[in-house]
Amino acid sequence: MTVLLSPAASAPCRTGTPAEAPATSSVMPPRIPAPARLPDAERIAAPACRPRRPTRRRTFYGNLRRPLEPVIKSESVDPVRNPYAPGAGQRPPELAGRDRELSQFEVVLERVARGRPERSMVLTGLRGVGKTVLLNTFKSMAMQRLWGTGKIEARPDQSIRRPIAAALHMAVRELAPRHRAPDRIEYFLGVLKAFAMRDPNAAKGTSHWSPGIDVPAVRGRADSGDLEIDLTELFVEAASVATDLGVGIALFIDEMQDVRAADISALCAACHELSQTGGPLIVVGAGLPHLPVVLSASKSYSERLFRYVRIDRLDREAADQALIAPAAREGVEYTPEALDALYEAADGYPYFVQAYGKVTWDAAPRSPITADDVKVAAPEAEQELAVGFFGSRYERATPAEREYMRAMAEIGAANGDEPVPTAEVAKWLGRKPSSLSPARDSLIKKGLVYSAERGFIGFTVPHFGKFLRAQPV
Please, what are the domains in the chain? 99-310 (3.40.50.300), 316-392 (1.10.8), 398-469 (1.10.10.10)
Percent share of the chain, pLDDT over 70: 80
Give residue 46's pLDDT: 44
Please say whether the dihedral angle defined by the alpha carbons of residues 188, 189, 194 and 198, taken in this order, is positive or negative. Answer: positive
Give residue 204's pLDDT: 52
Report the pLDDT averaged over residues 3-12: 43
Report for 55-69, 139-153, 436-450: range of highest mean pLDDT = 139-153
Report the pLDDT averaged over residues 145-155: 93
Q: Tens digits of per-residue pLDDT, 248-279? A: 999 999 999 999 999 999 999 999 988 888 88
Give residue 315's pLDDT: 92
Q: Tens digits of per-residue pLDDT, 289-312? A: 989 888 888 887 878 888 899 999
> Does position 382 have pLDDT exceeding 80, yes or no?
yes
Give residue 381's pLDDT: 87
> Does position 6 have pLDDT exceeding 80, yes or no?
no
> Does position 205 have pLDDT exceeding 90, yes or no?
no
pLDDT band at 14 (very low <50, low <70, confident <90, very high): very low
pLDDT band at 125 (very low <50, low <70, confident <90, very high): very high
> Over the chain, what is the mean pLDDT?
81
Q: Tens digits of per-residue pLDDT, 71-92? A: 444 445 667 788 888 876 678 7
pLDDT band at 220 (very low <50, low <70, confident <90, very high): confident
